[in-house]
Chain A
Amino acid sequence: MSQTISLKGRLSARRSFIDGTFRLFLYLSIFISLGMIFWIVSSLWSQAGWLLSWDLLTQYPSYDIDNAGFQSPLVGSLWVVGIATLVALPTGLLTALYLEEFAGKGNKFSRLIELNIQNLAGVPAVVFGLIGLAFIVRGFVKWGFTVGSAAAVIAMLMLPVIIIVSREAIRAVPPSYREGALALGATPWQAVWRLVLPSAIPGTATGSILAVSRAIGESAPLLLLGALSFVTFNPTGLDSPFTIMPLTIFKYASDSREEFQILASAGSLILMAVLFVLNLIAIILRDIATKKRNV
Chain B
Amino acid sequence: MNNLLGKAVRGFVVVVMITSVISEPSLAAGKEYPVGNLLECGSRNKLVDHQGLQYKCSISGGGLKWKKTGLKAGSTTTAGPAVDLSKFKDVTGSIAIDGSSTVGPLTTVAAEAFQKASQTKITVGISGTGGGATKFCNGEIDMANASAPYSATQRELCAKNRVKFTELRVATDALTVVVNPKNSWAQCLTVAQLKKIWEPGSKVKYWNQVDPTFPRIMMPLFGAGTDSGTFEYFTEVINGKPARRSRTDYTPTEDDNVTVNGVKRSTGALGYYGLSYFKENTDINKAVQIDGGKGCVSPGLEAVLAGTYVPLARPLFVYVNDAKAKSNKAVLPFLEFYTLQLDGLAEKAKFLPLTAPQKVELDKAIKALKG
Contacts and interface: CB of A to CB of B under 8 A. Distances in A.
B126 A229 contact: yes
A49 B126 contact: no
Contacts of A243: 123
Contact of A37 (B12, B43, B44, B350): B12
Interface stretch (B22-30, B238-246, B314-322, B328-336): B22-30
- Candidate in B6, B15, B16, B122 with the most chain A CB atoms within 10 angstroms: B16
A38 B16 CA distance: 8
A254 B125 contact: no
A280 B126 contact: no
A261 B257 contact: yes
Interface of A: 34, 37-38, 41-42, 45-46, 49-51, 53, 55, 62-66, 138, 144-145, 202, 206, 226, 228-233, 241, 243, 251, 253-259, 261-263, 276, 279-280, 283, 287, 290
Given A66-B58, A230-B112, 15 more contacts: A34-B15, A45-B19, A45-B23, A50-B28, A50-B64, A53-B43, A229-B124, A230-B124, A232-B112, A241-B121, A254-B256, A254-B257, A256-B257, A261-B257, A279-B9
Given A63-B109, A256-B280, A258-B60, A50 B15 contact: no
Range for the number of chain B residues in contact with chain A: 35 or more
A55 B44 contact: yes
A254 B58 contact: no
A49 to B, nearest CB: 5
A226 B125 contact: yes
Contacts of A202: 2
Nearest to A251: B126
A231 B121 CA distance: 8
26 contacts: A37-B12, A41-B19, A42-B19, A45-B23, A46-B28, A49-B25, A50-B64, A51-B64, A53-B43, A63-B109, A144-B140, A145-B140, A229-B123, A229-B124, A229-B126, A230-B108, A232-B111, A232-B115, A243-B123, A253-B255, A256-B260, A256-B277, A258-B60, A259-B61, A283-B5, A283-B9
Interface in B54-88: 56, 58-61, 63-64
Contact of A63 (B9, B12, B281, B349): B349
Contacts, number: 125
Contacts of B101: 254
- Candidate in A202, A254, A259 with the most chain B CB atoms within 10 angstroms: A254
Contact of B61 (A229, A232, A233, A258): A258
A51 B15 CA distance: 19
A10 to B, nearest CB: 34
Contacts of B265: none
B213 to A, nearest CB: 33
B43 A49 contact: no
A50 B123 contact: no
Contact of B121 (A206, A233, A254, A279): A233
B175 to A, nearest CB: 14
A66 B112 contact: no
Contacts of B2: 202, 287, 290
Given A241-B96, A256-B257, A280 B125 contact: no
A63 B105 contact: yes
B351 to A, nearest CB: 12
